[in-house]
Chain A
Amino acid sequence: GAGVSQSPSNKVTEKGKDVELRCDPISGHTALYWYRQRLGQGLEFLIYFQGNSAPDKSGLPSDRFSAERTGESVSTLTIQRTQQEDSAVYLCASSTTGYSTEAFFGQGTRLTVV
């Protein structure tokens, strides 16, 4: 596609449920990032995929969070047993090499845990 696509755009879930967020990066982009942006806050790094290298998971806040990426394609971020503090906008970005090139962002998934 022309840009980074994220789905769903909005998700309301009950506390304790699992959710899966999807990111379709720009075709050919080897690097993919996930960030969390709480209301009025900055971008909190979650996880980074670069080609075939092992992902950098250092930003995942707890073992309830996990992410996968199929080759250099789609990525899914899974949050298990959601908590109210998980409410945020989850942003995905991709770039050609992950180094000096620009990261292109999707519009995000707004997650609300009630």
Chain B
Amino acid sequence: AQSVTQPDIHITVSEGASLELRCNYSYGATPYLFWYVQSPGQGLQLLLKYFSGDTLVQGIKGFEAEFKRSQSSFNLRKPSVHWSDAAEYFCAVGASNTGKLIFGQGTTLQVKP
């Protein structure tokens, strides 16, 4: 069975600073990996996904993530954070044999002016 760990429950960064949100997964085969964002009062929106090919994937809103098989990680990054990026971020792993999608506990991002 797959699982996802997001070690940071809450992160605060200053506007304009860089951001990295950590995600570690557990899955026996090559996983499908996703990052979703949930803004206050909004539904979940896909930021980016990885399922094969280039291990550095680009997403919407200037986000990127890098798949590192050796570290079982899929960390989300952004070079310069905007106040509108304040939200809840969820990492998810999809099983390649069944499609079952499991989410981490989420990381709350607060952006200081």
User: Which of A's residues lie within 8 Å of B, judged by CB?
Assistant: 31, 33, 35, 41-43, 45, 48, 50, 56, 58, 91, 93, 95, 97-100, 102-103, 105-108
Q: Interface on chain B toward A: helix, strand, loop, or mixed SS?
A: loop
| B90 & A48 in contact (Cβ 8 Å cutoff) | no
What 13 additional pairs, Cβ within 8 angstroms, besides A42-B90, A42-B103, A50-B98? A42-B104, A43-B106, A48-B98, A56-B98, A56-B100, A97-B99, A98-B94, A98-B99, A100-B51, A102-B34, A103-B34, A107-B43, A108-B43
Known contacts A105-B44, A108-B43; is-contact A100 B101 (Cβ 8 Å) = no
Residue of B43, B96, B106 ringed by the most chain A CB atoms within 10 A: B43
Known contacts A31-B99, A98-B98; is-contact A43 B43 (Cβ 8 Å) = no
Closest to A30 in B: B99
Residues of B within 8 A of A50 (CB): 98-99
* Whole-angstrom CA separation of A41 from B108 in the bound complex: 10
Contact partner of B103 (CB less than 8 A), chosen from A43, A95, A100, A106, is A43
Chain A CB within 8 A of B32 CB: yes
Contact partner of A99 (CB less than 8 A), chosen from B32, B103, B104, is B32
Name B31-51 residues within 8 Å CB distance of A. 32, 34, 43-44, 46, 49, 51
Name B3-36 residues within 8 Å CB distance of A. 6, 32, 34
Closest to B104 in A: A42
Known contacts A42-B90, A100-B49; is-contact A105 B43 (Cβ 8 Å) = yes
| B99 & A41 in contact (Cβ 8 Å cutoff) | no
| B100 & A48 in contact (Cβ 8 Å cutoff) | yes
Q: Which 4 A-B pairs have the closest CB atoms?
A: A98-B99, A42-B105, A100-B51, A43-B103
* Whole-angstrom CA separation of A95 from B104 in the bound complex: 19
